[in-house]
């Protein structure tokens, strides 16, 4: 096999078609973060985006999108923004991993949401985690019955709040795949407020991330699109979500709601309606991503698996990288896997968010309140 390195934007039409064909042929690759459209958009905004093209004779056997940072540090495409990465190829393809890193000029590649079990990376997996999904292949009614079986009390409470929201605030209306940029701005403003309120770094403070979302929102094709949804009470938006989809799978990305309506649990109400409309649109699954909130446990009707791990070539850079990264990755995994620890961590971050808000409001205009090291 021969491996060439290019930027995603340099791929021709035939290469992009081959990428799509490989992705569609393997159900484990049915994720928009693995789509060529996402790689091309990232390439437009970030200089460090590359793709390794694996040739087997005259044909292309696979594509490996990645980021190449200083000193040959390799990261998954999109890094902390994404919930899935991997090699786009036939399921059985196995590449010499060290040869792949050498061709990509990488000393190390650290992954935490790799498609589990890929032959090229399986030997380097250190942990495999479930990612809950809403399985809609049998339709919305079948899925909601599973939700009811998971937690009848939770479903009853949410449906009660849904009716109360419509009764007290205005008739509910759900908009699926809104093309309106103003609606997207409303959602992003809510999300920025949530990041600050809960003590997390505001991702949208980075202009390139906002530009990426705008590019994704503009995508409209059968195989790939940005999907903006919004729940309204009367004419007032109360909760929404922006995610990406393939022809059959929608991936959760940026959910948020107006805190003025928090007593109605509008985020969960929105998720129930989003699942219903996604099923009507012909989607088979909503991927909620691994770890995090408890609501995923009772909304799920299936799981996918993603892996954590690390591949390296012998070098000083790889050794230093391991020393700096491994304890952080282990600590994050421990917290996400234990609801009691997750609640404590979440509470601490929210407390920090309140303190920071107070400090910023009391500080002179030129005062900078720094983020804590490692805040996400």
Measure the CA–CA gap between 51 and 10, rounded to whole angstroms: 10
42: pLDDT strictly greater than 80: yes
Rounded (5°) CA angle 305-307-313: 155
Residue of 351 and 363 predicted with greater confidence: 351
Q: List pLDDT tens digits, range 298-308.
A: 999 999 999 99
Q: List pLDDT tens digits, range 249-284.
A: 999 999 999 999 999 999 999 999 999 999 999 999
CA 105, 24, 19, 33 dihedral sign is negative
Beta bridge partners of 131: 304
229: pLDDT strictly greater than 90: yes
323: pLDDT strictly greater than 80: no
Q: List pLDDT tens digits, range 59-68.
A: 999 999 999 9
Measure the CA–CA gap between 226 and 187, rounded to whole angstroms: 14
pLDDT at 339: 59
- Answer for the pair 200, 376: CB distance below 8 angstroms, yes or no: yes
> Is 366 exposed, middle or buried, given 0-12, 13-18 or 19+ CB atoms closer than 10 A?
exposed
pLDDT at 327: 52
199: left (phi over 0), alpha (psi -120 to 50) or beta: left
Q: List pLDDT tens digits, range 152-194.
A: 999 999 999 999 999 999 999 999 999 999 999 999 999 999 9
Q: In residues, how long is the chain? A: 376
Measure the CA–CA gap between 111 and 303, rounded to whole angstroms: 19
Residue of 291 and 53 predicted with greater confidence: 53
- Answer for the pair 5, 68: CB distance below 8 angstroms, yes or no: no
- 313 band by pLDDT with thresholds 50, 70 and 90: confident
**DSSP-based three-state secondary structure for 326:** helix
Q: What mean pLDDT is reported for the chain?
A: 87
């Amino acid at each position: 096999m021969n491996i060439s390195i290019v930027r995603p934007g340099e791929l021709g039409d035939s290469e992009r078609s081959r990428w799509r064909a490989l992705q569609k042929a393997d159900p484990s690759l049915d994720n928009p973060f693995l789509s060529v459209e996402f790689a091309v958009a990232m390439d437009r905004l970030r200089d460090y985006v590359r793709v390794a093209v694996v040739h087997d004779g005259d044909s292309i056997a696979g594509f490996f999108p990645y980021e190449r940072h200083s000193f040959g540090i390799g990261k998954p495409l999109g890094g902390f923004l994404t919930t899935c990465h991997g090699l786009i190829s036939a399921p059985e393809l196995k590449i010499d991993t060290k040869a792949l890193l050498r061709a990509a000029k990488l000393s190390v590649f650290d992954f935490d949401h790799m498609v589990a079990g890929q032959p090229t990376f399986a030997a380097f997996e250190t942990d495999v985690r479930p990612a809950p999904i809403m399985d809609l292949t049998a339709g919305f009614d079948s899925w909601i019955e599973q939700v009811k079986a998971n937690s009848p009390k939770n479903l009853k409470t949410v449906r009660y709040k849904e009716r109360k929201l419509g009764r007290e605030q205005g008739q509910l209306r759900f908009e699926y795949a809104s093309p309106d940029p103003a609606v997207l701005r409303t959602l992003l403003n809510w999300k920025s407020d949530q990041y600050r309120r809960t003590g997390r770094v505001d991702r949208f403070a980075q202009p390139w991330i906002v530009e990426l979302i705008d590019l994704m929102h503009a995508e409209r094709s059968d195989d790939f699109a940005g999907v903006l949804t919004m729940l309204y009470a009367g004419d007032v938006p109360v909760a929404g979500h922006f995610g990406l989809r393939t022809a059959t799978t929608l991936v959760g990305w940026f959910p948020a709601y107006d805190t003025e309506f928090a007593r109605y649990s509008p985020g969960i109400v929105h998720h129930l309606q989003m699942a219903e409309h996604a099923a009507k649109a012909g989607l088979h699954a909503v991927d909620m991503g691994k770890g995090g909130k408890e609501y995923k446990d009772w909304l799920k009707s299936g799981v996918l698996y993603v892996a954590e791990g690390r591949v390296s070539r012998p070098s000083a850079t790889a050794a230093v990288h391991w020393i700096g990264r491994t304890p952080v990755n282990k600590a994050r995994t421990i917290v996400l896997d234990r609801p009691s620890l997750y609640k404590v961590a979440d509470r601490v971050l929210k407390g920090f968010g309140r303190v920071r808000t107070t400090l910023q409001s009391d500080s002179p205009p030129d005062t900078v309140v720094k983020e804590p090291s490692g805040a996400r």
